[in-house]
């Protein structure tokens, strides 16, 4: 049961992030929802690699025991960096939109429709 806790957390964070993206009216909060979804996926990646009573995946002077998976940690690092770049770009676009449209309300940033 305790081992399932990270996956429950992933589900909760993902649902909160999805809800924020759909329901919130402020553009920054929508982007924050995307950040939450990213956190959920990264947490999922790391939690997948855990092995019970595992040790760090370093071969030098390694004690006895099963190692946790190192590949997912590399995947998570890459995904975090991609997430940083994405958030930076999205927030810059939000700044530019605020400068030109004078609003951050998603329901009013609708010059392109129909």
Partner 1 sequence: MVFAFSLQSGSGVWHPLVWLAAFAVAAIIARVVLGFGRGSRKTGGDHVKPFLSGNEELDEERIHVRASNLYWGYLEAMKGYYRRLTALHTGNVADYLLWLFGVLAIMIVVGLAT
Partner 2 sequence: MSTFFGGLDNHLPALLVGVPLLFAFLMPLAERVHRRLTDILAVTGMGLTSLCGVLLAIRVFTTGAVGYAFGAASPDEMLPPDSGGVPVRILFTVDALGAFMVLIISVVGLATLVYSVTREDRHGEKATFYALFLLLTAGVSGMVATGDLFNLFVFLEISSLAGAALVAVRMDRGVAVEAALKYALLSATGGLLFLLGVALLYTQYGSLNIAFIARELRMTGLDTVAVALLAVPMAMKCGAVPMHFWMPDAYSRAPAGVTAFLVVSSQCAMYVLFRSLFTLFHRRLDLAMFGWFVIALGVLSMFIGVTMAIPQKDVKRLMAYHAISQSGYMLLGVGVGLAVLGKPELLDAYGRKAMAGGIFHIMNHALYKGLLFLTAGAVIYRTGQRDLNNLGGLGHQMGWTMLCFMAGALAIAGIPPFNGFASKFLLYESVFRFNPFLSIIAILVSVLTLASFMKVFHSMFMGPRLPRFAEVREAPLPMVVSMGVLAVLVILGGLFPTVVVEHIIEPAVVALLEQSEYIQTVMER
For partner 2, the binding residues (CB under 8 A) are 21, 27, 30-31, 34, 37-38, 41, 44-45, 48, 71-72, 75, 78-79, 82, 85-86, 89-90, 93-94, 96-97, 99-101, 109, 111-112
The distance of closest approach from Cβ of residue 83 to partner 1 in the complex, given in angstroms and rounded to an integer, is 17
The distance of closest approach from Cβ of residue 87 to partner 1 in the complex, given in angstroms and rounded to an integer, is 16
For residue 70, count other CB atoms closer than 10 A to its CB.
12
- Structural contact between residues 66 and 53, judged by C-beta atoms closer than 8 angstroms: yes
Helical packing angle, 27-48 and 5-23, nearest 10°: 160
């Amino acid at each position: 049961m305790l081992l399932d806790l990270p996956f429950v957390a992933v589900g909760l964070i993902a649902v909160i992030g999805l809800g924020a993206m759909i329901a919130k009216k402020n553009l920054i909060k929508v982007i924050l929802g995307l950040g939450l979804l990213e956190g959920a996926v990264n947490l999922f990646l790391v939690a997948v690699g855990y092995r019970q009573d595992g040790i760090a995946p370093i071969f030098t002077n390694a004690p006895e025991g099963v190692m946790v998976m190192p590949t997912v940690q590399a995947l998570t690092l890459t995904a975090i960096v991609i997430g940083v770049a994405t958030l930076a770009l999205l927030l810059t676009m939000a700044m530019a939109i605020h400068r030109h449209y004078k609003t951050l309300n998603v329901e009013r940033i609708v010059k392109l429709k129909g």
